[in-house]
């Protein structure tokens, strides 16, 4: 089945997320830090009057954090009644992909982000990592809840 | 709209129970996931928070159901609650089968709610199904009969009061036998609340004849008519010899008068006057009590007497959005005013016109703001009014006599507040009657009047509403609380109990000094629910109790939840907004006068020692001196700090920040996401330029700090 996806980059790797789950893509403006939250929470932003948390995917995936720059974007996800902005290095492309070509992630790939992968798609210019958002949301919530304030 | 009070009462019950059922369903499904093969079952045990949540929900449903006279539902929730307690105490292991039973219970309760909600004929077999599940839960879990785990097996509660399926409350009116017999629990509740809210109860008897039928007058037609004209409580056939007649019991507005010539025969069980329902010896109708009946309607609910056509129902969410938008306008306006000085170079006439327009806008906005906020305001009587019925049930069930006094029911508060107050108030009232007020004999022996006094009052104080629930019972047995706390290792042997500790202990989930729990109270859940509700509303709870004389709980809650005045402060380069109503005064702190003690820092102020709490520490901010401070770096320890003094009970606390930046009106935007939600943050507010400022709830912050210190210092 052909589905539209949004592509974004974090620490050199390209990730894909179903565009049906993406509410919008925003420039990074002032993010207000929130104390006593998990380290991967950068803070909150206002999205058309609604307050949403910003998750740094770099920190989430244990990459070195870098300051946001002009190419940084917020990929705003709306799912299960929650709105969460994912801070990524850049996000531009909108592509149509055949979901039939999604392969399970290779065993040799390691790293904490493996948990959040639905699979990979091989392309001429490299691998696309397809994000499994439900897992991302779910685990984040459990961790956040179990963390002491 | 024609019968607001009784409908609202039932509606409150239904929406409250529905919310709990929803969260029960979610929690059960979450637990079920963790138990499915592939996931380690320990996960569930690591998250007793789900089980605690379930416990609280069933506990609340139990309370609400017995208040509404829905015995079977109360029994079922009680059995489920007992089961959960066993799981929480590790006496029974959680498994998929148990989850299944609980989902089944949730489903039955949901069906009950649906039946009550659409006012339909009912769900035959539902009662029986609830009874059989209840019985099954009890027999499948013998542990549920152990003392302390459940009351249902040993039943220390008066059987007649809670368990008997017939006539839980004697009806204060007489009805034809067949009709009275056919009344279900829900019907009885509807009937009682209609009576009690001042409606006129009419009994219409319709005798069908072929002639009437030819004219289109049949039972269905009549039923439809009464559904339109009033609130049809019950329709039942009356069969005698060889005639069938139909009785319709209908609640009408107080001023209802039947047509001179009518197709039905009328009688009015309460007489021509809309009733003084006399309830109950236990609750003599006190002057000014919260009964939105004849007199209350005129005073506290002026709109209810207006023409039906002049009222519009508005979705609360839309109203909330409206208030927010008006708030945003207010914020924009103040930003415009801030920008005005920057237009200095502009021609004077243009500048004058501009500032005149701005002033006009300012005053219009003020009126608009007030008007919008007032659309959300409702009198406290909306929640107080449900208390007499609950108290009557509780008093009867526990064999006590209670006189209720209600004050300040006309105090206007935010609609949302009223909705969220029902649950904590019910718990407080239940505690007062079950634990506080003694039996008539005990009271007589102690030289007190046999009838206990319970008073509920509300009062607006500045931007707060203060609600008190006070009884003249035996007071809290602080030595029993201390003993139990020592037994649980929460209090050292040599430590004595401070008033703050007492409140802490009794609001702990599961803390109870009672060996046996009853249907009404005693499982140590209720006070935890109260504390959580108050916290969620960014208010605070305090307690005073005197042995033999009684107990008083005080809830302090913000009057409105969307628009407030806040002080903007800065600390380590970050800015925060602090609700003005949480601040008693602002003081300057001279570092040299700070006294360090083992447990922290104190500061002398007005001949008192104020505890200093540093915002930078609580928020783990890197401490750095304010940039604008021109003093040399070497005097870093001597620069002035500012304290926002807030009193929490008797303790005065100063929250220490680097700088005060000014006061502004803010629109509170909630932060619902669990990733960032925390009690100390009441929300965020948008500044004119799109950036967000966190709104800090000082009281919750200090509470978190106090808890944290208690846990780290052995």
DSSP B113-132: HHHHHTT-S--TTHHHHHHH
Residues B652, B663 contacting (CB under 8 angstroms): no
Share of chain B above pLDDT 90, in %: 7
CA A54 to CA B675: how far, in whole Å?
Answer: 10
The reported pLDDT for the residue numbered A67 is 86
Interface size, chain A vs chain B, as Cβ–Cβ contacts under 8 Å: 72
- Chain A nearest CA to B415, separation (Å): 22
Q: Please give the residue of chain B at the shortest CA–CA distance from A143.
A: B675
- Chain A nearest CA to B665, separation (Å): 17
Max CA distance (Å), chain A: 46
ipTM of the complex: 0.86
A137 at B interface, C-beta within 8 A: no
User: Per mean pLDDT, which of A111-125, B181-195, B416-430 is the most reliable?
Assistant: B416-430
Residue linked to tokens 């850049």: A90
Residue linked to tokens 């800015």: B575
Residues A9, A18 contacting (CB under 8 angstroms): no
Express each pLDDT in B102-137 by its tens digit. Answer: 888 988 888 888 788 776 556 778 888 888 888 888
Verify whether the Cβ–Cβ distance B686 to A52 is below 8 Å: no
Alpha-carbon B631 to chain mean position = 51
Express each pLDDT in B462-493 by its tens digit. Answer: 778 899 999 999 888 888 888 888 888 888 77
Residue B450 scores a pLDDT above 80: yes
Most B CBs within 10 A among A26, A46, A51, hence the mutation to make, goes to: A51
Q: Please give the residue of chain B at the shortest CA–CA distance from A82.
A: B673
CA B332 to CA B365: how far, in whole Å?
Answer: 11
Task: Over range B304-322, report the average pLDDT.
Answer: 62
Lowest mean pLDDT among B26-35, B71-80, B90-99: B26-35
Q: What is the DSSP string of B242-261?
A: TEEEEEEEEEE-TT----SS
Task: Over range B277-282, report the average pLDDT.
Answer: 35
> What distance, in Å, lies between the first and last C-alpha atoms of chain A?
44
Residue B1 scores a pLDDT above 60: no
The reported pLDDT for the residue numbered A65 is 84
List all residues of chain B from 278 to 337 with a beta carbon under 8 Å from chain A.
324, 328
Verify whether the Cβ–Cβ distance A52 to B673 is below 8 Å: yes
Task: Over range A17-36, report the average pLDDT.
Answer: 90
The string over A42-74, giving b where at least 16 C-beta atoms fall within 10 Å of a residue's C-beta and e elsewhere, is: bbbbbbeeebbbbbbbbbbbebeeeebeeebbb
B22 at A interface, C-beta within 8 A: no
The string over B41-71, giving b where at least 16 C-beta atoms fall within 10 Å of a residue's C-beta and e elsewhere, is: eeebeebeebbbbbbbbbbbbbbbbbbbbbb
CA atoms A118, A124, A125, A126: torsion sign: positive
Residues A30, B691 contacting (CB under 8 angstroms): yes
Residue B649 scores a pLDDT above 60: no
Verify whether the Cβ–Cβ distance A51 to B670 is below 8 Å: yes
Express each pLDDT in B568-606 by its tens digit. Answer: 998 888 899 998 888 888 888 888 888 888 878 888 888
Verify whether the Cβ–Cβ distance B676 to A32 is below 8 Å: no
3-state secondary structure of B465: strand
> What distance, in Å, lies between the first and last C-alpha atoms of chain B?
58
The reported pLDDT for the residue numbered B140 is 67
The reported pLDDT for the residue numbered B162 is 32
Residues A130, A117 contacting (CB under 8 angstroms): yes
Q: Name, in order, each residue with C-beta under 8 angstroms of A10's C-beta and a sequence gap of 6 or more.
A: A57, A58, A61, A63, A88, A89
Q: Which residues pair with B265 in a beta bridge?
A: B205
Q: Between residues B283 and B486, which one has the greater pLDDT?
A: B486
Express each pLDDT in B212-228 by its tens digit. Answer: 777 777 777 788 888 77
Closest CA to A79 of A35, A37, A140: A140
The backbone region for B447, taken as left when phi is positive above 0, alpha when psi lies in -120 to 50, beta otherwise, is left
B518: its two tokens: 């009853």
- The whole-chain average pLDDT of chain B stands at 75
Verify whether the Cβ–Cβ distance A51 to B49 is below 8 Å: no
B168: its two tokens: 């839980």
How, if at all, do strands B200-206 and B231-240 pair?
unpaired
Element (H, E) at A98: strand A90-98
CA B130 to CA B108: how far, in whole Å?
Answer: 7
Q: Name, in order, each residue with C-beta under 8 angstroms of B445's C-beta and a sequence gap of 6 or more.
A: none
The reported pLDDT for the residue numbered B295 is 35
How does DSSP classify residue B618? H
CA B149 to CA B359: how far, in whole Å?
Answer: 66
A52 at B interface, C-beta within 8 A: yes
Express each pLDDT in A66-94 by its tens digit. Answer: 888 888 999 999 887 888 999 999 987 78
Lowest mean pLDDT among A140-144, B177-181, B251-255, B637-641: A140-144
Q: Please give the residue of chain B at the shortest CA–CA distance from A42.
A: B676
The reported pLDDT for the residue numbered B168 is 42
Residue linked to tokens 């009733």: B275
Angle CA(B313)–CA(B314)–CA(B319) in degrees, nearest 5?
A: 155
CB nearest to A44's CB, from B619, B684, B704: B684
B423: its two tokens: 């649950």
* Backbone phi, psi, residue A86, to 5°: -95, 120
The reported pLDDT for the residue numbered A148 is 42
Burial class (CB in 10 A: 0-12, 13-18, 19+), B294: middle
How, if at all, do strands B563-571 and B659-667 pair?
antiparallel
pLDDT tier at A16, thresholds 50, 70, 90: very high
User: Per mean pLDDT, which of B28-37, B383-392, B402-411, B615-624 is the most reliable?
Assistant: B402-411
CB nearest to A30's CB, from B681, B691, B704: B691
* Backbone phi, psi, residue B253, to 5°: -55, 155
Express each pLDDT in B134-167 by its tens digit. Answer: 888 887 665 443 333 333 333 333 333 333 333 3
CA B465 to CA B129: how far, in whole Å?
Answer: 44
Task: Over range B391-396, report the average pLDDT.
Answer: 82
How does DSSP classify residue A32? B
Burial class (CB in 10 A: 0-12, 13-18, 19+), B520: buried
> In angstroms, what CA-CA distances link B183 with B118, B121, B189, B244?
17, 11, 10, 19
Residue B323 scores a pLDDT above 60: yes
Residues of B in contact with A146 (CB under 8 A): 46-47
Q: Please give the residue of chain B at the shortest CA–CA distance from A78.
A: B673
Residues A52, A44 contacting (CB under 8 angstroms): yes
Residues of A in contact with B683 (CB under 8 A): 51
Burial class (CB in 10 A: 0-12, 13-18, 19+), B496: exposed
3-state secondary structure of B674: coil
Share of chain A above pLDDT 70, in %: 87
Residue A145 scores a pLDDT above 50: no
Residue B283 scores a pLDDT above 70: no
CA B663 to CA B665: how far, in whole Å?
Answer: 7
List all residues of chain A from 22 to 41 with a beta carbon under 8 Å from chain B.
29-30, 32-38, 41
CA B428 to CA B423: how far, in whole Å?
Answer: 9
Verify whether the Cβ–Cβ distance B669 to A50 is below 8 Å: yes
Verify whether the Cβ–Cβ distance A53 to B693 is below 8 Å: no
The reported pLDDT for the residue numbered B9 is 57
The reported pLDDT for the residue numbered B57 is 87
Express each pLDDT in B528-571 by its tens digit. Answer: 888 888 888 888 888 888 888 999 999 988 877 677 788 899 88
Residue B284 scores a pLDDT above 50: no
Angle formed by the axes of helices B415-431 and B48-67, nearest 10°: 80
Closest CA to B522 of B164, B59, B71, B73: B59
How, if at all, do strands A50-56 and A73-79 pair?
unpaired
Closest CA to B140 of B182, B172, B97: B97
3-state secondary structure of B236: strand
The reported pLDDT for the residue numbered B279 is 35
Task: Over range B236-257, report the average pLDDT.
Answer: 76
* Backbone phi, psi, residue B678, to 5°: -160, 150
A1 at B interface, C-beta within 8 A: no
Residues B141, B92 contacting (CB under 8 angstroms): yes
Alpha-carbon A61 to chain mean position = 10
Angle CA(A82)–CA(A83)–CA(A89) in degrees, nearest 5?
A: 140
pLDDT tier at B691, thresholds 50, 70, 90: confident
Express each pLDDT in B77-105 by its tens digit. Answer: 988 888 888 888 777 788 888 888 888 89
Residues B690, A29 contacting (CB under 8 angstroms): yes
A15: its two tokens: 């990730």
B707 at A interface, C-beta within 8 A: no
A50 at B interface, C-beta within 8 A: yes
The reported pLDDT for the residue numbered B299 is 33
B535 at A interface, C-beta within 8 A: no
Residue linked to tokens 């932003």: A45
Verify whether the Cβ–Cβ distance A46 to B618 is below 8 Å: no
Q: Which residues pair with A9 in a beta bridge?
A: A14, A90
The reported pLDDT for the residue numbered B121 is 57
Enumerate the H helices of chain A as residue ranges: 57-60, 133-146
The reported pLDDT for the residue numbered B289 is 37
Q: What is the DSSP string of B254-314?
A: TT----SS-SSEEE-TT-SS-------TTS---TT-S-TTHHHHHHH-GGGGS-GGG----
Burial class (CB in 10 A: 0-12, 13-18, 19+), B639: middle
Lowest mean pLDDT among B333-337, B377-381, B686-690: B686-690
């Amino acid at each position: 089945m052909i589905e539209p996806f949004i592509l974004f980059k974090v620490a050199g790797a390209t990730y894909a997320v179903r565009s049906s789950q993406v509410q919008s893509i925003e420039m990074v403006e002032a993010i207000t830090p929130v104390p006593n939250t998990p380290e991967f929470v950068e803070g909150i932003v206002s999205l058309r009057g609604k307050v949403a948390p910003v998750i740094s995917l770099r920190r989430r995936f244990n990459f070195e954090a870098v300051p946001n720059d002009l190419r940084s974007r917020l990929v705003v996800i709306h799912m299960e009644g929650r709105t969460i902005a994912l801070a990524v290095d850049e996000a531009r492309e909108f592509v149509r992909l055949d979901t039939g070509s999604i392969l399970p992630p290779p065993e040799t790939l390691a790293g904490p982000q493996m948990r959040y992968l639905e699979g990979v798609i091989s392309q001429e210019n490299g691998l696309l990592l397809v994000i499994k958002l439900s897992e991302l949301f779910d685990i984040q919530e459990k961790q956040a809840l179990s963390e002491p304030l | 709209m024609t019968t607001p009070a009784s409908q609202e009462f039932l509606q409150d019950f239904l929406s409250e129970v529905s919310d709990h059922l929803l969260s029960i369903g979610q929690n059960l499904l979450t637990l079920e996931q963790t138990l499915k093969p592939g996931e380690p079952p320990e996960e569930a045990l690591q998250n007793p928070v789900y089980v605690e949540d379930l416990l609280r929900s069933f506990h609340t449903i139990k309370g609400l159901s017995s208040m509404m006279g829905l015995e079977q539902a109360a029994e079922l929730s009680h059995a489920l609650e007992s089961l959960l307690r066993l799981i929480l105490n590790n006496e029974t292991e959680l498994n998929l089968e148990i989850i299944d039973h609980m989902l089944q219970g949730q489903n039955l309760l949901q069906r009950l709610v649906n039946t009550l909600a659409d006012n339909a004929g009912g769900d035959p077999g539902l009662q029986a199904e609830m009874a059989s599940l209840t019985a099954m839960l009890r027999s499948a879990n013998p542990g549920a009969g152990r003392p302390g785990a459940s009351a249902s097996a040993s039943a220390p509660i008066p059987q007649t009061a809670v368990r008997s399926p017939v006539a839980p409350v004697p009806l204060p009116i007489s009805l034809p036998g067949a009709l009275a017999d056919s009344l279900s629990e829900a019907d009885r509740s509807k009937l009682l609340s209609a009576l009690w809210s001042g409606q006129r109860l009419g009994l219409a008897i319709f005798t069908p004849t072929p002639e009437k039928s030819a004219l289109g007058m049949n039972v269905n037609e009549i039923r439809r008519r009464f559904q339109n004209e009033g609130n049809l409580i019950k329709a039942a056939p009356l069969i005698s010899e060889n005639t069938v007649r139909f009785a319709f019991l209908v609640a009408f507005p107080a001023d209802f008068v039947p047509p001179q010539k009518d197709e039905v025969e009328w009688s009015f069980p309460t007489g021509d006057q809309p009733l003084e329902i006399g309830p109950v010896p236990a609750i003599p109708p006190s002057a000014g009590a919260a009964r939105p009946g004849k007199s209350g309607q005129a005073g506290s609910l002026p709109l209810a007497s207006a023409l039906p056509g002049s009222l519009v129902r508005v979705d609360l969410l839309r109203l909330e959005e409206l208030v927010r938008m008006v708030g945003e306008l207010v914020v924009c306006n103040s930003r415009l005013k801030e920008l005005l000085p920057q237009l200095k170079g502009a021609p004077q006439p243009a500048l004058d016109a501009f500032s005149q327009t701005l002033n006009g806008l300012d005053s219009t906005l003020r009126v608009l703001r007030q008007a919008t906020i007032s659309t959300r305001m409702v009198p406290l009587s909306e929640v107080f009014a449900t208390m007499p019925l609950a108290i009557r049930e509780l008093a009867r069930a526990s064999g006590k006599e209670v006189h209720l006094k209600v004050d300040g029911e006309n105090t206007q508060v935010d609609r949302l507040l009223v909705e969220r107050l029902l649950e904590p108030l019910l718990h407080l009232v239940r505690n007062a009657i079950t634990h506080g007020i003694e039996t008539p004999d005990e009271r007589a022996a102690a030289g007190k009047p046999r009838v206990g006094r319970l008073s509920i009052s509300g009062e607006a104080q500045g931007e707060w509403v203060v609600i008190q629930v006070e009884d003249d019972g035996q007071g809290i047995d602080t030595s029993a609380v201390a003993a139990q706390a020592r037994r649980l290792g929460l209090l050292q042997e040599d430590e004595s109990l401070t008033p703050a500790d007492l409140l802490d202990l009794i609001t702990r989930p599961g803390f109870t000094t009672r060996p046996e729990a009853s249907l009404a109270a005693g499982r140590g859940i209720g006070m935890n629910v109260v504390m959580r509700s108050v916290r969620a509303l960014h208010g605070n709870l305090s307690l005073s109790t005197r042995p033999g004389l009684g107990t008083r709980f005080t809830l302090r809650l913000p009057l409105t939840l969307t628009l407030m005045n806040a002080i903007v402060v800065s600390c380590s380069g970050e800015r925060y907004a602090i609700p003005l109503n949480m601040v008693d005064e602002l003081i300057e702190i001279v570092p040299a006068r700070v006294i360090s003690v083992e447990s922290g820092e104190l500061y002398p102020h007005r001949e008192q020692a104020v505890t200093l709490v540093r915002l930078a520490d609580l928020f783990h901010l890197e401490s750095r001196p304010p940039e604008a401070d021109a003093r040399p770096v070497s005097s870093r320890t001597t620069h002035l700090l500012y304290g926002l003094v807030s009193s929490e009970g008797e303790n005065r606390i100063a929250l220490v920040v680097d700088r005060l930046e000014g006061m502004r009106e803010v629109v509170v935007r909630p932060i619902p996401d669990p990733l960032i939600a925390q009690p100390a943050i009441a929300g965020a507010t948008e500044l004119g330029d799109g950036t967000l400022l966190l709104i800090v709830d000082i009281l919750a912050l200090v509470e978190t700090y106090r808890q944290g210190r208690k846990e780290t210092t052995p």
